[in-house]
Structure 1
Amino acid sequence: MTVIDETPAAAQAVETGKVSSHLHPEPGYDLALHPVPTGREEIWRFTPLKRLQGLLDDQASDAHLSWTTQLPAGVTLTPISGEEARELGEFLPFDRLAALAVAHAGGAMLLDIPAEAELDEPVRIDLEGTGLDQVVWGQVIVRVGRFARATVVIEHRGQARYSHATTVLVGDGAQLDLVTLNDWSDDSVHAGQVGIRVGRDARVRASEFTIGGDLVRTSTNVEYAGPGGDAELLGLYFVDAGQHIEHRLFVDHTAPKTKSNVTYKGALQGEGARAVWIGNVLIRKVAEGIETYEENRNLVLTDGCQADSVPNLEIETGEIEGAGHASAIGRFDDEQLFYLRSRGIEESEARRLVVHGFFNDLIRRVGVPELEERLRAVVEAELERHVLTDGQA
């Protein structure tokens, strides 16, 4: 945990709205703020830059993903210009990947959920890649009106080199469940910045599930537009041999009486499987009376895997209700396995039950029954590849 001294520079950063976190550089559209990284920078030191396959290059592209949508009555999806996106208050890019996505996307797609709407079914957006020939740049804005209640499911699949910047604007008193599924082909590369602005007394639960891709690096950033906002960030990832899966989260408590809770869990199996989780919470001087907790747990199923887990707290005021973090990387719990084996359960079945129990509390909170069943099936399929066959862990 890092406690920041109240220097004039830090105070000025808070007053001007600039992020004073050592883990997050100054955001902005200008590419000069985001030079090509060398890999020695704090925000890039875990990422294998060569495997980004052109996502750091300043090059235009006319390639697009294929969109399939299911929009309940009253919900609209329309293209808007880059200028209109800025007027709506989109999140500024925090790194070069997001800055390039905004610069080359050619505008944004605006998903608009009207004020006071109560949707009986989820909004669904399926984005499918069709090849690796060109980089695909994307920009999406999700706007949820005041006092609306909605579930939005965004699924990425197929084959692509894709980088996007997504902004989620949640109005005062609104409730949003945002579910993102990254189920790419084994040779795909995906980079994404998701910025969530939580309105006064609004509630957001953002669930992210990453189960495919050669390299996936996502950054989820949260800030508050007023007091009383509540953000819950959930994540599940399954990393196979040779995959690099990296999740970066930043919760910026910019208003008093706000809450945040972050829980990410991952499993790794196979030679060269690599998971990176970076969590950071910045509690500003004005954010009195806030509550926050972040947690990351990794289950190593076979030899040859590597997991990095870095939780951080940066605190500028002592007037808070509570703040904490936890991080763990380990193998199967021998006591759990012994307990199950002592009751006549075969070892492979015992391992399966332990892994399903590890993930189940996250999956059951998705709130979309068919997606919950699909995620359980994905976990089962991943276990069949290694854990239930060789028992190396």
Structure 2
Amino acid sequence: MSAASARTQASTKPAPSPALPTAEQHGIKEHSDGRFGYVPVQTRSARFKSVNAADFAAVTGREAVWKYSPVARFTDLTAGELDGSTYEYTVTDAPGVTVDWVGRDDARIGTAGLPEERASANAWTTFERALAITVTGEDEKEITLSRANLGSAPRAAHTIIEARPFSHATVILQNNGDARLSENVEIILGDSANLTVITVQEWNADAVQLASHFATIGRDARLKHIVVSLGGSIVRVNPAVHLAGPGSDTELLGLYFADAGQHLEQQVYVDHIAPHTRSRVTYKGALQGAGARTVWIGDVLIGPGASGTDSYEQNRNLVLSEGTRADSVPNLEIETGDILGAGHASATGRFDDEQLFYLQSRGITEDEARRLVVRGFLSEVVQKIGSRPLEDRLHAAIEAELAVTEVR
């Protein structure tokens, strides 16, 4: 067997791990009156992982990872056959950045993370070639990779973004048009790399996207990961970031605006593994229209070896009309007492009356005052993106949303 074949088997077809921890873990024992032998998963990192869709049970919607999702509307992505062939894309040029299709035997595949649910595993099982974006060079650079012709048939995709040691870049993944897509994105940062990854979802109204992003960050490297979800019927982008190198740092930002009937979901996982790591998570969204639904779940795990961790996560939702629903679930696990700080916050509500009164007292109409509050609320995330053309375009997109929104 060649070395490449061995790597392929190790990275894409690992032996399935136990779906549940043993009874000896954490000193937990089964109930004496039940004798069922069931011990629930005790920590976020212990979830079952596999690259094979057949290793996962059929999705029912009762699972922890699916209980907030309209699973009946995308069974073709969780249980059906997917088209894993290559697709059309356009990309801007930048020195030190290459974009190529690579085979499933590429050594990088499987190094950033593995699927924890069936849709992700189905895409992993099916994709034929991965699109690899490789960044080198210490000079700051920016590229935009756009997809707009994925079609309406169920499709799988796999993307690798590798930032070599000491490299510095911004990678924008722009999504438009029709899609029924399940995909995995692996983000790999070498030591002292500085990478910003921005994924922008401006799909057509009927599009469905289920995306799992996996990232591993090396020593003293920094990842800024930004999710912007504006278009599509169902959009679910779940980033999982592993702070594997000492001194590694991540900032996870999210911006979403849900209209009537839209389901926008993000399940965020930050895994502090190495010592002296730092993470900041800020997701903000607005909802308007009957049936608008957003879901944010934030899991932070500070492992036993992550001494000196500094972590904070927050989610804020602004409700603009009746008939909307925002679910916000922050979770924090700490397995060491030697940390700098850790915390989380979540809030969902209507307008602040004092803000509105202040603006109206200066001659601004109530309608415009409400729109100013929404702009300011969402602009906090937009202004942290770091790409001026994209920031301007997102400000314009927010203005377009507000132009057709009855803010009450």
Q: TM-score, normalised by structure 1?
A: 0.91
Deviation at 1:256, TM superposition (A): 0.8
**Which residue among 124, 128, 135 is the counterpart of 2:144?**
124
**Which residue among 382, 385, 388 is the counterpart of 1:363?**
382
Structure 2 equivalent of residue 100 of structure 1: 122
Deviation at 1:130, TM superposition (A): 4.6
Partners of 1:209 and 1:218 in 2: CA distance: 10
The alignment status of 1:277 with 2:299, answered yes or no, reads no
Deviation at 1:20, TM superposition (A): 5.4
Structure 1 equivalent of residue 33 of structure 2: none
Structure 2 equivalent of residue 251 of structure 1: 270
What amino acid maps onto 2:63 in structure 1?
E
8 Å Cα contact 1:252/1:282 also seen in 2: yes
Partners of 2:195 and 2:268 in 1: CA distance: 18
8 Å Cα contact 1:24/1:43 also seen in 2: no
Equivalent residue of 1:356, what SS?
Answer: helix
Partners of 2:214 and 2:109 in 1: CA distance: 15
Structure 2 equivalent of residue 180 of structure 1: 199
Deviation at 1:315, TM superposition (A): 1.2
**Which residue among 26, 31, 36 is the counterpart of 2:58?**
36
Equivalent residue of 2:160, what SS?
Answer: strand
The alignment status of 1:164 with 2:183, answered yes or no, reads yes
When residues 136 and 32 of structure 1 are mapped into structure 2, their CA distance, relative to the original with a 3 A threshold, is closer
The alignment status of 1:319 with 2:338, answered yes or no, reads yes
8 Å Cα contact 2:112/2:216 also seen in 1: no
Structure 1 equivalent of residue 225 of structure 2: 206
Deviation at 1:189, TM superposition (A): 0.2
Q: Of Structure 1 and Structure 2, which has the larger fraction of its residues in strand? A: 1
Q: Deviations over 1:312-370 (max 9, x none)?
A: 00111111110000000001111101111111101111011101110112111111111
Q: Deviations over 1:51-105 (max 9, x none)?
A: 1251112414256543001131231111111121556724211211111111111
Structure 2 equivalent of residue 9 of structure 1: 25
When residues 257 and 197 of structure 1 are mapped into structure 2, their CA distance, relative to the original with a 3 A threshold, is same
8 Å Cα contact 1:161/1:190 also seen in 2: yes
Deviation at 1:32, TM superposition (A): 4.0
Partners of 1:49 and 1:186 in 2: CA distance: 18
Q: Deviations over 1:264-311 (max 9, x none)?
A: 000000000000000000111111110100000000000110000000
Structure 1 equivalent of residue 37 of structure 2: none
8 Å Cα contact 1:204/1:230 also seen in 2: yes
Deviation at 1:21, TM superposition (A): 2.6
The alignment status of 1:293 with 2:312, answered yes or no, reads yes
When residues 29 and 370 of structure 1 are mapped into structure 2, their CA distance, relative to the original with a 3 A threshold, is same
Partners of 1:136 and 1:122 in 2: CA distance: 27
Equivalent residue of 1:131, what SS?
Answer: coil
Structure 1 equivalent of residue 212 of structure 2: 193
Partners of 1:32 and 1:340 in 2: CA distance: 57
Deviation at 1:242, TM superposition (A): 0.3
Deviation at 1:192, TM superposition (A): 0.3
Aligned length: 373
The alignment status of 1:75 with 2:97, answered yes or no, reads yes
Partners of 1:273 and 1:109 in 2: CA distance: 33
Higher relative contact order, structure no. (Cα contacts within 8 Å, ≥ 6 residues apart): 1
Moved more, 187-196 or 342-351: 342-351
When residues 254 and 150 of structure 1 are mapped into structure 2, their CA distance, relative to the original with a 3 A threshold, is same
Moved more, 270-279 or 92-101: 92-101
When residues 33 and 300 of structure 1 are mapped into structure 2, their CA distance, relative to the original with a 3 A threshold, is same
Q: Deviations over 1:98-136 (max 9, x none)?
A: 11111111121111112x4313x411100113531x111
Q: TM-score, normalised by structure 2?
A: 0.88
Equivalent residue of 1:129, what SS?
Answer: coil
8 Å Cα contact 1:23/1:43 also seen in 2: no
Partners of 2:178 and 2:231 in 1: CA distance: 10
8 Å Cα contact 2:310/2:341 also seen in 1: yes
Deviation at 1:226, TM superposition (A): 1.2
Partners of 1:348 and 1:64 in 2: CA distance: 48
Partners of 2:148 and 2:397 in 1: CA distance: 18
What amino acid maps onto 1:246 in structure 2?
E
Structure 2: 5+ residue runs without aligned partners? 1-22, 28-40
Deviation at 1:243, TM superposition (A): 0.4
8 Å Cα contact 1:278/1:309 also seen in 2: yes
Structure 1: 5+ residue runs without aligned partners? 1-6, 12-18
When residues 147 and 62 of structure 1 are mapped into structure 2, their CA distance, relative to the original with a 3 A threshold, is closer
